[in-house]
A = this chain, B = another copy of it.
Amino acid sequence: MASDKTAQSLTPNAVRAAYNLIQPYVHRTPLLTCKTLDSIASTPQSPEALAGTLFEGQTPAQPNFRFYFKCENLQRIGAFKARGAFHAVLRLLEERGEEEVKSRGVITHSSGNHAQALALAASTLDIPAYIVMPHISTSSKIAGTKSHGAEVIFSGSTSVEREAVVAEIQAKTDAILVPPYDYFDIICGQGTTALELEEQYAERSSGILDAVITPVGGGGLNAGVATYFSDKPQTRVFGAEPSFEGADDCRRGLQAGQRVESVSTLTIADGLRTPVGVLNWEVISDKRKVEGVFAVTEEQIKATMRLVLERMKVVVEPSAVVGLAACLFDEDLRRRVEQEGGEKGWDVALVFSGGNTTVEAISKLFS
């Protein structure tokens, strides 16, 4: 079953194979609609709202949006990361055999959703897991990871410090590294989000899905989704990311024609603070696979998160809403939907990537 794990092998069939493997272990999360959000997004922005932006002075666009929200915030461990983690561990079992994987265990370093996802996948499949977390991680995330039975080892917070601790544990245990995003089997796992949402869309509409937009952090989700849709040119794939303190590394990289290798940002979209990985960059920078990446401001993320919480009544983390924020505020995108979609407009699937927040974090954002 060993495969050539290059960007060339990232095909829709690889995603389908991943889906067959992980289906018993993950939720088929709902694809929700919300007429209120459709209507808000389909109302032109006021000229005043454009003041001080790149779009100042333009006539506001008049797009028509029908949204389909793929609710990975309702996925196991509260984020799409469960898909990739289960797939990576199941593939290790296939490739190296149960005995080897169970005796060596798996290891990663993460302070976020990948930590909990790998802990859950490993405990479900009865494999030891070592998770290196910065000691400044929030106690709820540490508790969440431990609750899935993983051994949590603390490190400093820089990547050099984390990797040193990983190397130390690996020297002792020979545990197999499962990286969070820049890794073939993780990308195929995250791509199953696309397969499911396409099926669910077809169950309720005989139309064509015009576009899919996902958040871009390390890029595993976006690259996986773009891989799945790569042989369906009618469905455009886009990414979205925060612009704060240079978090829009992917957008800037695409402009410059070269991947941005490091990012240092404290954007509120804390799942999107990392630069795009090398393998993911190969997919995302391929114009035939990903048409473009939009960047949104902190205020736009907050305003969008408020709309989703208050009007749609669904709990999302800030990272989850950057795609919707682009639809609401990016006049280039809105103009394109107006021009290409015309009166009919566009059917747009948006991946709500995760919902791991707390009432305290919400309080802090909005007080």
Contacts and interface: CB of A to CB of B under 8 A. Distances in A.
A310 B143 CA distance: 14
A359 interface: yes
A219 interface: no
Interface string A309-335: 110011110000000000000000000
A43 to B, nearest CB: 13
Copies in the complex: 2
A313 B78 contact: yes
Contacts of A359: 305-306, 309-310, 362, 365-366
Given A363-B366, A366-B363, A367-B367, A358 B313 contact: no
Contacts of A358: 306, 310
B365 A313 contact: no
A357 interface: yes
B355 A363 contact: no
A74 interface: yes
Q: Which of A78, A313, A314, A359 has the most CB of B within 10 A?
A: A313
A73 interface: yes
Interface of A: 30, 73-74, 78, 305-306, 309-310, 313-316, 355, 357-360, 362-363, 365-367
A3 B20 CA distance: 57
A315 B309 CA distance: 6
20 contacts: A30-B30, A74-B313, A305-B359, A309-B315, A310-B315, A310-B357, A310-B359, A313-B315, A313-B316, A314-B314, A314-B315, A315-B315, A359-B362, A359-B365, A359-B366, A362-B363, A362-B366, A363-B363, A363-B367, A367-B367
B360 A366 contact: yes
Contacts of A315: 309-310, 313-315
A251 B316 CA distance: 36
Contacts of A360: 366-367
A363 B365 CA distance: 9
A78 B366 CA distance: 21
A141 to B, nearest CB: 12
A73 B310 CA distance: 10
Nearest to A305: B359
Contacts of A365: 359
A39 to B, nearest CB: 11
Nearest to A306: B359
A77 to B, nearest CB: 10
Contacts of A314: 313-315
